[in-house]
Structure 1
Amino acid sequence: MRILLATDAWDPQVNGVVTTMKRVIAECEKLGHEFKIVDYTQFKSVSWPDYPEVKLALGCYEEVREIIQDYEPDAVHIATEAFVGLAARRVCMEWKMPFTTSYHTKFPEYVSARLPIPLSWGYGYMRWFHKPSGRVMVATPTLQKDLEARGFKNISPWTRGVDTEMFRPGLEPIFGDLPRPIMTYIGRVAIEKNLEAFLSLDLPGTKVVVGKGPQLEELKEKYPDAVFTGARFGEELARSYADSDVFVFPSLTDTFGLVILEAMACGTPVAAFPAHGPIDLIPGTGAGVIDDDLSVAITEALKLDRAHVRRHAEKFSWRACAEEFIRNLEPYPEAEKKKLWARLRALPRRLRRAA
């Protein structure tokens, strides 16, 4: 299939949406599918006021419409709900093209953490955005139940994977002589990640934060005993997981948490709250501990067998994730698709919008 992906999150951003889609695209291309990426870097954009890494594309509707018309995709998938996603959604609605979406991020919670906007407004917008989607892809059963309870329809499961070759045990240590146990968080340093619930704990050993984000300087000043390494990538990132005694995931707003699987693939047990993502990935696995008391989760996770943690991570693959993604797509019916593109090609470009 010729698949068009519309997304407001792409390189050089580092987050779960980008990681997931890049790995899925790579696996889908091995299966013979073709992709066209439409992302914020192709348009004029501005930064989110207190989060410069997040960009918002401006006035992109006309260009998005032309890209879709020129590419003539068999399927359109919209990964995010900001301006690029909105433009692609509008085009599909105008042309009566089926499309799918995915719910990667708890957008209402993220916005409410930064702006005085009620959660109900955020979820109202998200319901409106995803309502015409043929399938709303979600990563976990818990998230699916939550969204269904909030009035979302057409929800389909879409699991995630992990690179077990890159993320593996036995890598060269990276933390030197830091006092053990080393308790590590890896990810964005932002208010929605609930990092203070981790950094404020009174526990022996060393707390390490790997990543960058808008809350970095504030937390460095407030918690001088913690070690802040900044962002790490590739082998250094994998070594950071592997040289940790426990991976701490304090977030209450993530929908999955790819970092959980990356830590497990390195044999590092995970401690987390019983929130979306951890509650689907951890209980009963022997690869981590969830508890309403994060210090209890950390203490108990340190007792787990690292070899068993690794074996659990090996159950997840990006190939399975890609195959499920393809099954969830709703390609335009062949006969109707040919009629649509033929009709649009016959119109002068200035009239295509009215079509």
Structure 2
Amino acid sequence: MRILVATDAWHPQVNGVVRTLTSLARSASALDAEIEFLTPDGFPSMGVPTYPGLRVAWPNRREIAKRIEKAAPDAIHIATEGPIGWSVRAYCRRRKLAFTTSYTTRFPEYIQVRTCIPASVGYAVLRHFHAAAAMTMVATASLKQELSARGFRKLGFWTRGVDTDLFRPDEPAELDLPRPIFMTMGRVAVEKNIDAFLSLDLPGTKVVIGDGPQRAELERRYPQVKFLGEKTGKDLSSHLAAADVFVFPSLTDTFGVVQLEALACGTPVAAFPVTGPLDVIADHPIGALDTNLQNACIRALGMSREACRNFALERSWENSARQFISNLTALHPSRSLQPARRVASRTAARG
């Protein structure tokens, strides 16, 4: 099965969407599925207002059509609701091609935090975007329930996984810091609610891994906190393994893949009881959820690191990829995509 995934989020960005899609493609190859990506690469781009360093592509209609027809996919999946996503959606609508989408980011809340635009306006736009899809995939039961209450329809599940070969508890980084070490990782931006973690009165040391537009401000306000910048691969894994507690302060993430990555490293999680942590941690003895994040951090210190690792071992990317592919197969999208294949064949013949 040939699958084309359209995404506005791509390397060199470091975030959950990029890591999820990269892991999906790697695992899908073992399931007789080939995933190709339609990304911002090659398109002109511009900076995102209020978010220095982040750029979005501005694709043109002809190039979008050319890339889709060259890929000649059996199924099209739109992973993000940015300019790439809207352009691919328009292409499919013009040609009456079936496609699926996924809901991975709470853009309405993110935009509301940075502007005066109410979240209700953002949700109206996203309902319109996803309403055209044959299925909108979500990662958790609580998110499905929430979106259903907001008027989203044709919702299906696509759970997330973790690379337990990369994220391991052995060989932790040697951090010469007072214990316990409370660590968070992700984009250092206002919507991630990192300030709620850094303002806590906790023993030991607070550590932040990642970069973003709020980093300089937070470094000035919290000089005692260790900001280590972006880390990837084995370097990231070893740092997660060196922490005593992984703190996930976000109130807006739809899942939070990094929770599974921390657990795979044997590190318990402390978080607020919101969508994402509620679905990942729930009542398992691998972390603590509390409206008082400080209480959650202290309680998480007593969790079994072995239990955290064992929990992660049961949540592989292969199972996630299998579910994703099953969603596409169940919808029989290949029939709808035959016109795209014929156009690609004619183009190749003329070439």
TM bucket, shorter chain: over 0.9
- The answer to whether the 8 Å contact 2:101/2:137 transfers is yes
Partner of 1:273: 272
CA deviation profile, 1:36-87 (whole Å, cap 9, x unmatched): 2111122111121232443221142221112112322110000000100000
* Paired residue type of 1:332: P
1:351 corresponds in structure 2 to none
**Contact 1:8–1:55 (CA<8 Å) still a contact in 2?**
no
2:91 is aligned to: 91
Question: Partners in 2 of 1:249 and 1:339 — Cα distance?
Answer: 45
Kindly tell me: are residues 298 and 91 of structure 1, through their superposed partners in 2, closer, same or farther at Cα, counting changes over 3 Å? same
Read off the aligned partner of 2:333 and give its amino acid letter: Y
Secondary structure in 2 matching 1:41: coil
- 8 A Cα contact 2:59 2:84, kept in partner: no
Measure how far apart 1:331 and its partner are. 4.1
2:249 aligns with 250
DSSP-derived class of the 1:166 partner: coil
SS class of match (1:289): strand
1:343, CA displacement in angstroms? 6.6
Q: State the distance in 1 between where 2:339 and 2:90 align.
A: 20
Give runs of ≥4 in structure 1 deviating > 6 Å.
343-347
**Structure 2 equivalent of residue 350 of structure 1:** none
Residue 35 of structure 2 corresponds to 35
Structure 1 residues without counterparts, runs of 5 or longer: 348-355
TM-score (norm 2): 0.95
Runs (5+) with no aligned partner, structure 2? none
Q: Which residue of 2 aligns with 1:48?
A: 48
Q: How many residues align?
A: 345
After TM superposition, give the deviation of residue 234 of structure 1 in Å: 1.4
Question: 1:268 is matched by which residue type in structure 2?
Answer: T
Matches of 1:325 and 1:53, distance apart in 2: 31
CA distance 1:133–1:202, change in 2 (3 Å): same
Q: Which letter does structure 1 place at the counterpart of 2:72?
A: E
Letter in 1 for 2:310: R
2:205 — aligned with what?
Answer: 206
Distance 2:80 2:140 in 1: 17
| C-alpha deviation, 1:339, in angstroms | 5.2
Match of 2:41, SS state, is helix
Q: Do the aligned partners of residues 59 and 288 (structure 1) sit closer, same or farther apart at CA in structure 2, a change above 3 Å counting?
A: same
Matched with 1:332 is 333
Partner secondary structure for residue 333 of structure 2: coil
Q: 1:284 maps to what in 2?
A: 283
| Contact residue 181 and residue 204 of structure 1 kept, 8 A | yes
Aligned amino acid, residue 201 of structure 1: L
Offset of residue 174 of structure 1: 2.8
Worse-matched range after superposition: 216-225 or 111-120: 111-120
Query: Is 1:304 matched with 2:303?
Result: yes
Following TM superposition, by how much is the alpha carbon of 1:3 offset from its aligned partner in structure 2, in angstroms?
A: 1.0
State yes or no: 1:20 paired with 2:27.
Answer: no
Contact 1:5-1:76 at 8 Å conserved across structures:
yes
Please say if residues 77 and 100 of structure 1, whose CA atoms lie closer than 8 Å, have aligned partners that are also in contact.
yes
The alpha-carbon distance between structure 1 residues 247 and 218, as it changes in their structure 2 partners (threshold 3 A), is same
**How many Å separate the matches in 2 of 1:219 and 1:342?**
54
Counterpart secondary structure, 1:284 = coil
- One-letter code of the match for 2:107? F
Measured in 2, the distance between the counterparts of 1:237 and 1:284 equals: 27
State how far apart, in whole Å, the 2-side matches of 1:172 and 1:291 are. Answer: 28
Match of 1:159, SS state, is: coil
- The within-5 A match list for 1:80-119 is 80-119=80-119
Determine the C-alpha separation between the residues in 1 that align with 2:53 and 2:33: 30
2:58 maps to what in 1?
58
Deviation of the 1:168 alpha carbon: 1.1
* Structure 1: distance between partners of 2:338 and 2:128: 29
Q: Name the residue aligned to 2:120.
A: 120
For residue 240 of structure 2, give the secondary structure of its aligned residue in structure 1. helix
Give the C-alpha shift of residue 248 in structure 1: 0.3
Q: Which moved more, 1:322-331 or 1:269-278?
A: 322-331
